[in-house]
Each structure stands twice: as structure tokens, then as C-alpha cells.
Amino acid sequence: MHAMKLTLAAAFLLAPVAAQAAADTPLPGGAAVLTWTPEQQKLGYKSMEKVVPYKVVKRGEHVFPLPGGASIEDKVKVAIGGKTMSVADYMAAYRVSGLLVIKDGKVVLERYGLDRNADDRWTSFSVAKSVTSTLVGAAIKDGYIKSLDEPVTTYVPELKGGAYDGVTVGQLITMTSGARWNEDYTDLNSDVAKVGQAVTEPGVNPIVSYMRKLPRDVTPGAKFHYSTGETDLVGILVSKATGKPLATYLSEKIWAPFGMEQDAIWAEDVAGHERGGCCMSMTLRDYGRIGMFILGGGKAGGQQITPEGWTADATRSHVAVDPAHPEYGDYGYFWWVNPKAGAYEAIGIFGQAITTFPKDDLVIAINSAWPAADTAELNAARDSLTAAIREAAK
């Protein structure tokens, strides 16, 4: 569907191991997460609260129903490399811990692997970005943020005087700020390797402190450039605008009123702020409910949470990922967009995704523990799976 980089993991890697957890878990944190063994992945992805500091996103008193429908599992035939695979075959081959398919509001396929069950949470990696941009919409609806045309510096004034002067909230959530940024995690001198590692200016979030020193590369709005640091900036912007932690605001606006079935957790940075770009943990069905919330137009508890039309605008094409490679697709408000397939996706490394085909009323949630963070072969295999599911669900 598109090309992503190994460095989408970086937002997570900046979070240190929680001191209180270090004594009772053998799982290494920080950059070591990228090199976890398959067994460590299987254990760690469903117990991130033992690895990172976090805040809790509290559920509410009711649960959004996901009734069962006629199973499509036997109809799903995944074509990869000239071979046809069943759902079970695919899940075993690509280390899938959870696959949930919701068609017309009914669960038509739900299956678990890697010793996971329906009550186990699983880390989102960059799927959290799409949740963060949705909170921007909620903050606009609530009047905390005036509009997407507002300067970022209105809400994060510490950014004044640098590359973010004149950059709008809308440009930030489409990754078109124009700020120079090196997202190469294999380079220890890259921005993504150095950002937010320690508090260097008391009273200033370490990510903001680093980002405000960046130079400008191109005119704001001119092109897409993936920047993990900017997704964390958006989280900080929402918190500053609302005066609330992201976890609290998410609970108040979506998690509780929409009816998520279980508390989620959200990993923090070194300053104790939730990472806008990474690492929530939730049940598979709650991944599916995020998809249903967006598909349903941003309503929860009978109330419009985001502005009218926000979810449609957030999930449409705003900028080409790479004009030279149209097959990479487009980008919305922290959503990956595939105009050809008529789909939009929230995606995280190592095989996390919420894929939605709105015209088919179809939501597919996938959690995995891929052997690599991101490769063309793994992405193509997942696209083959979603295409097969879409065909079977007709």
C-alpha cells in the first residue's frame, strides 16, 4: 500500500524503561525493543505496562456492542507468492496475535494467536498517531483549538523564533511543516536518535526544546516529510490547549463515552507526557472500536465529538507521500490513505493496523509481531490479507 521506514519505531524508543518495572521483568526497553526476540515480542507487546512508564486511559460504564455475524473465515483465501493461504496459515506465517473483521457493524471474523486472548492488550506503536490527530478534532469541536489554520506557536509558544514560525496546526498533522528532520534511526546523529532524550531546559518539554532548534528545509505546506518528533509535538499541543493529559482527554471524549471495553495505557516520554506518536496498548476489539468511531463520523454517547465532516476530511488525501511513487499512497491527518483501493489506515511497525474500507462498511484490525519492523514484503502480505478479507466480506 505504501512504503514506511524502520524509524517509525523511534517515538517508542525514546521512552525509557520504567524504573519500577525493571526489577520484575526480563524485557529490555529503549532501543532494545527493536531487537526483541520472537519470544520477547510475544510477551512484551501484550505487557508494555511492565516495560515503559505510562498513563491510564480509563474506560466508562458501558461497552459499545460488537455483535457476531456470519463468519467469513472459510471464504478468506490469501494469495501470496503464487500460493493460497487460509487465515490460520497467514496468521502463523506472519505472526499475527489478533485479527478482527467488522462488517456492517458485526464481527465476522475474530481470531487470536501467539498465546494471546481477547482480554490481552497489545501495543499500537504508531497507530497512536491517528488517535492523537482525532483528539485535535475534538479540541477544535470543544473550542480549545480555534482551527487548523491557527499557528502552532499559539499553543506551543516555546516554538517561536524557529522553523515552526508560520506553521499551522493543519500542516503539522499532515507532516508538511517544512522543518528539516532526519528520521534515520540507523544514524546515531540523526534527529530521531537524539530528540527528547533528557530534560535540557527546565520547564520546557525535552521534545519541544529539541524541535524549536530545528532549521527550516522547505516552505511550510510544500511537501510531505515524515517526522516522529512532530507527532509528539501534536500531542503536547493538544495537552497545552486543553489543559489536560492526553490520556484524560481521550478518556473523556472517546474511550468512556464511545464504550471501549477495557482501560488502555499510553506510554510517556522522559518528562512524563504521553507520546503523541506512539505506543498505546488496548484490546483487539478496542482497536476495532477505534475504527468504528471514525467510520461512524466521530460520534460517541449520542454526541458529536469531532466537528461535522472531520473524520471524512482526516482520512482523505491531503498530500502525496512521494510524488515519484504514487503507489506509496497519500496522507491525511496522521492517516495513511490509499485512494485506489478506497481505504485509509492507522499503521504501526511490526504489523499493527486498523484498515477501513468505508464504502464497504468494513473495518479490519490486525496486531502482529513481525520479524522486522517494516519491509516491502511484509506490507505487501498484509495488503493481500486485507484484499482477501474485503473480497470474502462482499
Position 185 scores a pLDDT of: 59
Output Rg (C-alpha) for the chain, integer angstroms. 20
Give the percent of the chain with pLDDT over 90: 83
Of the two residues 10 and 354, the one the predictor is more confident about is 354
- Is it the case that residue 14 has pLDDT exceeding 60? no
Bridge partners, residue 366, by sequence? 99, 353
- Domains of the chain, with CATH numbers? 6-392 (3.40.710.10)
Lowest-confidence pick of 30-39, 49-58, 303-312 = 30-39
Per-residue confidence band for 32, with pLDDT thresholds at 50, 70 and 90: confident
CA distances from 275 to 68, 125, 233, 379 (A): 34, 10, 9, 25
Q: pLDDT tens, 333-384?
A: 999 999 999 999 999 999 999 999 999 999 999 999 999 988 999 999 999 9
Which of the pair, 129 or 187, is modelled with greater confidence?
A: 129
For 53, 272, 310, 323, 369, the CA distances from 333, given in Å and listed in that order, are 27, 25, 10, 18, 26
Contact 242, 249 (CB under 8 A): yes
Q: Kindly tell me if the per-residue pLDDT of 209 is higher than 90.
A: yes
CA 142 to chain centre: 23
Is pLDDT of 9 > 60?
no
Higher-confidence position of 124 and 193? 124
| Rounded-to-integer distance, Cα 221 and Cα 343, Å | 24
CB 71 within 8 A of CB 351: no
Q: Which run of H or of E encompasses 55?
A: strand 54-57
Number of residues written out for the chain: 394
Condensed to tens digits (0 to 9), the pLDDT of residues 162-173 reads 999 999 999 999
d(CA 308, CA 10): 33
User: For the whole model, what pTM was predicted?
Assistant: 0.93
Is the CB of residue 158 less than 8 Å from the CB of residue 165? no
For residue 340, what is its C-alpha cell?
Answer: 485506489
Q: Is 170 helix (H, G, I), strand (E, B) or coil?
A: helix
Please check the confidence at residue 37 and state whether its pLDDT lies above 90.
yes
